Amino acid sequence: MIKLEKIKEERKKNKWTFLLKNSDEVFANTIRRLIIEEVPTLAVEELEIKENSSALYDEMLALRLGLTPIKTDLKSYELKEKCKCGGAGCAQCELKITLKASKKGYVYAEDAVSADPHCVFVYPKMILVKLLSKQKVDVTMTAVLGRGKDHAKWAPGLPFYHREPIIKVTGPVADPEKVVQSCPKGIFGIKGKSVEVIKDKLPDCHECQQCTDLDKNITFEESGNFIFTIESWGQLTCKEILNQSIGILIDKIEELEKSI
């Protein structure tokens, strides 16, 4: 049975690392692909630019707004193709956001006003455009749910994984200082006159195996487990991203069973 064990959660960085046990590369990569391609998020899809006298062309402003992540409530919104309105556009499949600014200086994401206070731009101080004296921006945006397979702006984050490393120090090390300094991830420390492996740092190991070339008493192996990391762009929490990907996988399996 596949098991998950949380290794580290960094909420300020929107990052979550866990150990995937009793699995293989196929399953790990399937979850990675589903996160990138299938987990839906909100992103700006259409714009009505009433006025834009800033230095940015309309197309450049639209690009910046489209790539600005929006907090997403998947319980309140539906994909257009699955919405009861048939894709015509309603409050369940579209989110309206307005941006009006005429003051000299930077225009931030927090200056935009969302029709849904629960779904706003993730990073308030993200700069959207800079205005000079007498320049103005007046834009109405329509955000919809979409998936990363259609455009990268809908991707919820960056998932990646690698084999769980097993590093051991089996005896005295000739040059402890050299071993410690050679590791960019700080996997090793000095205790007394010997080198020890700092277990809390092992998930950060890049598996370069440089340490094994420095001393014969340092060994490196890979376990059958995977260290899986999810970095969220902020639209969804890492837990929501993982749960959504698993739910999508189950739906696809059930759909396949029905077609057989």
Q: Do 102 and 130 fall within a single domain?
A: yes
- How big is the chain by its Cα radius of gyration, in Å? 24
Pair of tokens at residue 45: 């899809």
What are the distances in angstroms from CA 227 to CA 32, 35, 65, 200, 242?
12, 16, 34, 13, 14
pLDDT for residue 17 is more than 90 = yes
pLDDT for residue 215 is more than 90 = no
Q: Above pLDDT 90, what percent of the chain?
A: 76
Q: Do 142 and 161 fall within a single domain?
A: no
Q: Do 79 and 50 fall within a single domain?
A: yes
Residue 235 lies in a domain: no
Q: Do 96 and 143 fall within a single domain?
A: yes
d(CA 260, CA 258): 6
Q: Do 31 and 58 fall within a single domain?
A: no
Residue 252 lies in a domain: no
Token match 């007046």: residue? 138
Q: How many domains does the chain have?
A: 2
Write out pLDDT tens, residues 92-142: 999 999 999 999 999 999 999 999 999 999 999 999 999 999 999 999 999
Q: Do 7 and 63 fall within a single domain?
A: no
Write out pLDDT tens, residues 146-158: 999 999 999 999 9
Q: Model confidence at 170, in pLDDT bands (50, 70, 90)? A: confident
Amino acid at 34: L
Assess contact for 242 and 39: CB atoms under 8 A.
Answer: no
Closest-CA residue to 196 (of 170, 223, 235, 232): 170
Q: Among the residues of 67-206, which ranges form H helices?
A: 176-182
pLDDT for residue 192 is more than 90 = no
Write out pLDDT tens, residues 25-70: 999 999 999 999 999 999 999 999 999 999 999 999 999 999 999 9
Residue 174 lies in a domain: no
CB neighbourhood size of 15 (10 A):
16
pLDDT for residue 250 is more than 90 = yes
Residue 68 lies in a domain: yes
pLDDT, residue 16, reads 95
Q: Do 51 and 13 fall within a single domain?
A: no
Q: Model confidence at 165, in pLDDT bands (50, 70, 90)? A: very high
Q: Model confidence at 162, in pLDDT bands (50, 70, 90)? A: very high
Residues in contact with 81: Cβ distance below 8 Å, sequence separation at least 6, in sequence order: 87
Q: Do 148 and 47 fall within a single domain?
A: yes
Q: Do 81 and 117 fall within a single domain?
A: yes
Q: Do 127 and 206 fall within a single domain?
A: no
DSSP 8-class letter at 2: -
d(CA 251, CA 249): 5
Residue 247 lies in a domain: no
When comparing pLDDT for 87 and 115, which is higher? 115
Write out pLDDT tens, residues 227-244: 999 999 999 999 999 999
Q: Do 51 and 139 fall within a single domain?
A: yes
Which SS3 state, helix, strand or coil, does residue 110 take? helix
The DSSP result for 184-220, as a single string, is TT--EEEETTEEEE-GGGGGG-----HHHHH-TTEEE
Average pLDDT value for the chain: 94
Residue 115 lies in a domain: yes
Pair of tokens at residue 224: 């059958």
Residue 119: CATH number of its domain? 2.170.120.12
d(CA 173, CA 49): 66
pLDDT for residue 260 is more than 90 = no
Residue 52 lies in a domain: yes
First to last CA, the chain: 25
pLDDT, residue 182, reads 87
Residue 239 lies in a domain: no
Q: Model confidence at 87, in pLDDT bands (50, 70, 90)? A: confident
pLDDT for residue 193 is more than 90 = no
d(CA 7, CA 16): 8
Q: 75 is in which domain, residue-wise?
A: 42-153
Q: Do 126 and 162 fall within a single domain?
A: no
